[in-house]
């Protein structure tokens, strides 16, 4: 199988968490600031579906430049890009024929972001990958009809189930995934999220995994396509019983190496979506140390950038990208094509 792991190579990568509404909101509603990630604004700031719809109607990232985005990622040493095509809010960044709740039909922007970024990646030799949320807080057959009373405590509550979710899965979600896999060239990875909701079943996960394989046999699919991961450690506790090609530790690094493929996803501050109030930035040195730690344990590093509502990378993100680029230009042979170290982490000091 051809993959972004490239036969065992460890590749630095970037996740671009640009969303419709949440990049405009910035995690704030009046004096209230959303706890955690700004991409959860619809949930954390108690928006109803109706109230939230005004934000995609304002989405106009006029400074979005796909070539510049890819160039910055490439200069930082990144080898693949994962774009958020649709987050939990349900707003799509491509020209979907399945729904008009997308960047071409609802927003004034009227440009297919998935198309432009996929073409820029191809031109610059970067693998193009897509994030897609199983959760949809807007669609009435998913979680949309539960607002404003649905909250994070109910995610795994078996009593909070939409009986029409199988229809959403069959008639909305799968057709949208097919669009993304059919209209934008080779997709290196499909990165699912939202596997934790009660409506979604392991049978759906296996069906979706096979569905993707039929369309693009060489596409890698993360383990969140199924229900096997155990919390934020992101790994399947029963290998072989669940679909998915790699584990997804989130905001953490395993203590030891893992025998299967895995990728640690992490933010530069505390939010995936753009959140100007969050100034808790990890230092460049810390991010580089995390990269080395992940590589030494056999993993990939998926580092997030949350562009603002105008389509710009935050200045603090750019500074960290530049620092990582300078480091990888000198030390790249230590991480590209490397595999897990056979040695335990040594104690601090000099080794002889």
What contacts 58, CB < 8 A, 6 or more positions away?
Answer: 21, 24, 107, 108
Give the span between the Cα atoms of 139 and 54, in whole angstroms: 15
Q: Where is average pLDDT lowest: 18-22, 119-123, 131-135, 182-186?
A: 18-22
Determine whether domain 12-334 maps to CATH 3.20.20.80.
Answer: yes
Residue 96 is given by DSSP the state: -
Six-digit token string for 56 = 């995609």
Q: Give this prediction's pTM.
A: 0.92
The pLDDT assigned to 352 comes to 66
Quick one: average pLDDT of 69-82?
A: 95
pLDDT band at 152, cuts 50/70/90? low
Average pLDDT of the chain is: 89
Q: Evaluate if residue 7 carries a pLDDT over 50.
A: no
What contacts 198, CB < 8 A, 6 or more positions away?
Answer: 155, 156, 157, 158, 160, 161
Q: Which contacts qualify for 240-246: CB closer than 8 Å, 24 or more apart?
A: 242/202, 242/205, 243/205, 243/206, 243/208, 243/209, 243/210, 244/205, 244/209, 245/3, 245/220, 245/221, 246/5, 246/220, 246/222, 246/300
Nearest residue to 300 (alpha-carbon basis) of 4, 1, 2: 4
Looking at the DSSP assignment, which residues form a beta bridge with residue 305?
16
Q: Where is average pLDDT lowest: 13-27, 81-95, 100-114?
A: 13-27
Six-digit token string for 138 = 């807007």
**Where in the chain are the domains?**
12-334
């Amino acid at each position: 199988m051809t993959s972004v792991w490239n036969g065992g190579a460890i590749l630095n990568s970037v996740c671009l968490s640009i969303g419709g509404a949440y990049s405009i909101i910035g995690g704030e509603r009046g004096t209230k600031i959303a706890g955690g990630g700004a991409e959860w604004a619809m949930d954390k700031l108690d928006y109803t579906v109706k109230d939230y719809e005004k934000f995609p109607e304002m989405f106009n990232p006029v400074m979005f430049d796909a070539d510049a985005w890819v160039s910055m990622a490439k200069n930082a040493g990144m080898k693949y890009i994962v774009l958020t095509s649709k987050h939990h809010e349900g707003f799509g960044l491509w020209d979907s024929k399945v729904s008009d709740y997308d960047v071409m039909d609802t927003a004034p922007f009227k440009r297919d972001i998935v198309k432009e970024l996929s073409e820029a990646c191809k031109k610059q030799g970067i693998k193009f990958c897509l994030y897609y949320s199983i959760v949809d807080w807007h669609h009435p057959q998913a979680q949309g009809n539960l607002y404003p009373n649905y909250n994070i405590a109910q995610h795994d509550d078996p009593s909070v189930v939409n009986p029409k979710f199988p229809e959403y899965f069959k008639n909305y979600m799968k057709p949208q995934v097919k669009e993304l896999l059919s209209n934008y060239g080779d997709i290196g990875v499909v990165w699912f999220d939202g596997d934790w909701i009660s409506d979604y079943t392991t049978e759906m996960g296996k069906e979706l995994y096979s569905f993707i394989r039929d369309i693009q046999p060489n596409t890698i699919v993360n383990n969140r396509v199924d229900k096997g991961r155990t919390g934020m450690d992101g790994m399947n506790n029963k290998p072989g019983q669940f679909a998915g090609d790699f584990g997804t530790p989130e905001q953490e690094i395993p203590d030891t190496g893992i025998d299967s493929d895995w990728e640690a996803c992490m933010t530069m501050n505390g939010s995936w979506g753009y959140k100007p109030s969050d100034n808790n930035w990890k230092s460049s040195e810390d991010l580089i140390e995390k990269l080395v730690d992940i590589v030494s344990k056999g993993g990939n590093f998926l580092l997030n950038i949350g562009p603002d509502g105008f389509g710009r990378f935050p200045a603090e993100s750019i500074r960290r990208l530049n620092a990582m680029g300078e480091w990888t230009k000198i030390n790249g042979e230590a991480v590209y094509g490397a595999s897990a170290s056979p040695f335990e982490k040594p104690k601090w000091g000099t080794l002889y």
